[in-house]
Amino acid sequence: MPELRLAGKRTGGADRTAVVAAAENVSSSRDLVAPRDVASAGPDSFDRLLHAREARFTGSLSPISLALAYLDWSLHLANAPGRRLELTELAWRQWARLGSPSHWTKALPGDRRFRDEAWTHPPYNMIAQAFLLGEQWWHAATACLPGVTKSHANMVSFVARQMLDVFAPSNFPLTNPEVVRATVAQRGWNFVRGYQNFLEDVRRLANDRPLDAAKDFVVGKDVAITPGKVVLRNELMELIQYAPTTERVRPEPILMIPAWIMKYYILDLSPHDSLIRHLVSQGYTVFCISWRNPGPELRDVGLEDYRRLGLMAALDAVNAICGGHKVHACGYCLGGTLLAIAAAAMARDADDRLASLTLLAAQTDFTEAGELQLFTDESELALLDDVMWKQGYLDSAQMAGAFQMLRSNDLIWSRLITTYLLGERERLFDLMAWNADATRMPYRMHSEYLRDMFLHNDLAEGRYKVEGMPVAISEIRLPIFSVSTETDHVAPWRSVYKIHLLNQGDITFVLTSGGHNAGIVSEPDHPNRHYRVERRAPRAPYLDPDEWVAKAVEHDGSWWPAWVAWLDARSGAPVPPPLARKDYPALADAPGRYVRER
């Protein structure tokens, strides 16, 4: 059997030297052996099993981390009588404002809970105003308290906001004018349909079935249908080469590296919004990695394995198939972070096979990684380690819960109102269907990623090692095209912007409308899109994010054509498409096998 070597790095206090089980019909020259039995993990196994069970009741959040944050905040508040007096005075002022409509406040931009016209009329305007003023008071109470650790202050503020969101008047039938209006008009049938939706969802979750509407977006039939062939398959990924649609193509191919926290076909959704199809139509030979959906057998696969067996194995194949031409590499989200690591290692080792680097919503510095940092302190990571140790992976539902809490109003409460109080099913579109088609994360890799990147920021600070030697983003000497999105809650754009601090080379930075996913899936015909773009020449002076926004030119429409123009300027004259090679035969039609794994 083929072997998959795993780096012997320590993760979460235990040696990770076991190896993964072989995939069926994989092509590799190394043998695989079965992973170790989790029951023989050492004397701390009882504690780990206990913590994993506790996590089922806490949503995989560390109760100790929450308690420490609350204790830090409450003790400092108890020791600040002047601050408590200020908060008391603020409460009285808020009550006074409630009785003075001319001094009422407005909901924050992006808060869609009170957008209905009825919220501006009695009695709903008074109800909404009382809630908004209460929100303001709690923000003042939990923010900027001297002496409280920043991470603890952020966590207390976050938890307070989550609790307030539960009791928002929009969540209750009698205080939501839309629900009241629908109930009167439909004589209560909206609640009947809502109850039916609730029973259907309970049955679906119990049987681990997707929404019935997802049948309209079948992989390989409705989405991920750009023609192509799987030309490489190993333990971690399949490499898809897409068929050309033009008589001649640019000699430099494009290699797409998606994140393995998601299935690759976000880059190849329906034909009208497929980025891969768009690139092929512009005369490029496109390759894309389709990652395997890991189970417990891949528990000990590490981040280095994803670099070696994923990105580097794909680059070897692309380079060979395309006759040694340099490659435009494009990484999305976690795939972009992996690409930056690989490019830095290649620069260190004088490997010049890359022509350019494109990073889509990808972070290389994690000091301002947004509210996801709330879930990455030592206590939280220790709990996640124990959860993943028991399972062998982090389940997609556990990851989805964390992401949904970051935007609970949009991703939780608004959907509950629509589905159960209004009795309406949201119309499912391709991006929503893809989002529901989630993947898992291997235990070792995810622990390494959270600790090395989010917790310790090793990549930005020069401590991250590849093959035993550190790598530095500053050593990359390639033109970089970096895309960020305005409302990204996973990779905040100011965090993505820090690539300017880590690399003094040629960087073209784009800030586009939309969020982490919708901002990237931004086809040219998409309405109401805009983006800003600005190039920083090598060694040019640094602009902070606010200065950059003021200087960058805003354009209407999609950023895709701007990227294609950037690639064209760094590519050679069109040539005939590359011929098939015997050493990389077609193994299957796109989209391949791994993308269908559940």
Q: What is the dihedral of CA 214, 215, 219, 221, to 10 degrees?
A: -140
Report residue 157 as tokens: 């503020």
Query: Looking at residue 25, what is its pLDDT?
Result: 37
111 touches 170 (CB < 8 A): no
Mean pLDDT of all residues in 468-490? 96
232, two tokens = 């490489």
- How confident is the model at residue 21, as a pLDDT? 34
pLDDT (average), residues 321-331? 97
Q: Please state the rounded mean pLDDT for residues 524-533.
A: 92
pLDDT bin (cut points 50, 70, 90) of residue 372 is confident
**Which letter, b or e, does each residue of 406-445 get, where b requires 16 or more Cβ atoms within 10 Å of its Cβ?**
bbebbebbbeebbbbbbbeeeebebbbbbbebbbbbbbbb
Residue 12, pLDDT above cutoff 50: no
Instruction: State the sign of the Cα–Cα–Cα–Cα dihedral 137, 138, 143, 147.
Output: positive
Is residue 541, in this structure, part of any structural domain at all?
yes
Mean pLDDT over residues 566-573, rounded? 98
pLDDT above 50 for 39 = no
Q: What is the C-alpha to C-alpha distance for residues 478 and 108, in angstroms, rounded to an integer?
A: 41
Residue owning tokens 């390759």: 287
Q: Over the stretch 352-371, which tens digit does the pLDDT of each residue have?
A: 999 999 999 999 999 998 87
pLDDT of residue 395: 81
For residues 471-489, give the mean pLDDT. Answer: 97
Residue 493 resides in a domain: yes
Q: Report pLDDT for 76.
A: 96
Residue 326 lies in a domain: yes
* pLDDT at residue 8 in the model: 41
What is the average per-residue pLDDT within 528-547?
A: 95
Rounded-to-integer distance, Cα 469 and Cα 503, Å: 19
Instruction: Decide: helix, strand or coil at residue 495.
Output: helix
237 Cβ contact partners less than 8 Å away, ≥ 6 residues apart: 289, 290, 291, 292, 309, 310, 313, 314, 594
Check whether 533 has a pLDDT greater than 80: yes
> How does pLDDT run across 88-141, given as a tens digit for each residue?
999 999 999 998 888 898 888 778 899 999 999 999 999 999 999 999 999 999
Average pLDDT rounded to a whole number, residues 472-477: 98
Report, as an integer, the average pLDDT of 497-518: 96
Average pLDDT, stretch 474-490? 96
- pLDDT band of 501, cuts 50, 70, 90: very high
Q: How far apart are CA 111 and CA 132, in angstroms?
A: 11
66-78: average pLDDT: 95
Closest CA relative to residue 304, chosen from 8, 14, 530? 8
pLDDT of residue 406: 66
For residue range 74-86, what is the model confidence (pLDDT) as tens digits? 999 999 999 999 9
Is residue 444 included in any domain, yes or no? Answer: no
Least confident of 180-189, 340-349, 365-374: 365-374
Residue 333 appears among annotated catalytic residues: yes
- Phi, psi angle pair for 474, to nearest 5°: -65, -20
Q: What is the largest CA-CA distance in the chain?
A: 79
Q: Where are the beta strands (DSSP E) in 258-348?
A: 286-291, 327-332
Residue 4 pLDDT > 50: yes
Take residue 83 and report the two structure tokens written for it: 């601050």
Residue 310 has pLDDT above 60, yes or no: yes
Structure confidence at residue 209 (pLDDT)? 72
Task: Please say if the pLDDT value at position 62 is more than 70.
Answer: yes
**By residue range, what is the domain housing residue 274?**
228-367+457-596
Rounded CA-CA distance 438/370 in Å is 22
d(CA 559, CA 529): 9
Q: Return the pLDDT at 210.
A: 67
DSSP 8-state symbol, 580: P
Predicted confidence (pLDDT) at residue 57 exceeds the cutoff of 90: no
Whether 31 has a pLDDT exceeding 60, the answer reads no
Reported as a single tens digit per residue, the pLDDT across 420-450 is: 999 998 888 888 888 888 899 999 999 999 9
How many beta carbons lie within 10 A of that of residue 360, not counting itself?
29
pLDDT of residue 206: 77
Question: Tell me: the pLDDT tens digits for 376-423?
Answer: 888 888 888 888 888 888 887 666 666 666 667 776 888 899 999 999
pLDDT mean over 464-486: 97
Res 214: pLDDT:
64
Count of residues for the chain? 598
Nearest CA among 171, 285, 203 for reference residue 580: 285
**Residue 29: is its pLDDT beyond 60?**
no
Q: Is residue 580 part of a domain?
A: yes
Query: What pairs with residue 348 in β-bridges?
Result: none
What pLDDT shows up at residue 404?
64
- 380 occurs within a structural domain: no
Confirm if 332 and 520 have CB atoms less than 8 A apart: yes
Can the peptide bond before residue 123 be classed as cis, meaning omega within 30 degrees of 0? Answer: yes
Q: What local confidence, expressed as pLDDT, does residue 83 receive?
A: 95
Q: Are 485 and 327 spatial neighbours (Cβ–Cβ below 8 Å)?
A: no
pLDDT for the residue 511: 98
Amino acid 22: pLDDT: 33
Task: Give the CATH number of the domain where residue 270 resides.
Answer: 3.40.50.1820
Q: How far is Cα 50 from Cα 268, in angstroms, rounded to an integer?
A: 42
Which residues have CB under 8 Å from 266's CB, separation 6+?
258, 332, 431, 434, 517, 520, 521
Structural domain includes residue 517: yes
Domain annotation covers residue 19: no
Total of domains in the chain? 1
Q: Name the active-site residue from 288, 322, 330, 333.
A: 333
The answer to whether 243 and 227 are in contact (CB under 8 A) is yes
What average pLDDT does the segment 511-532 reach? Answer: 94
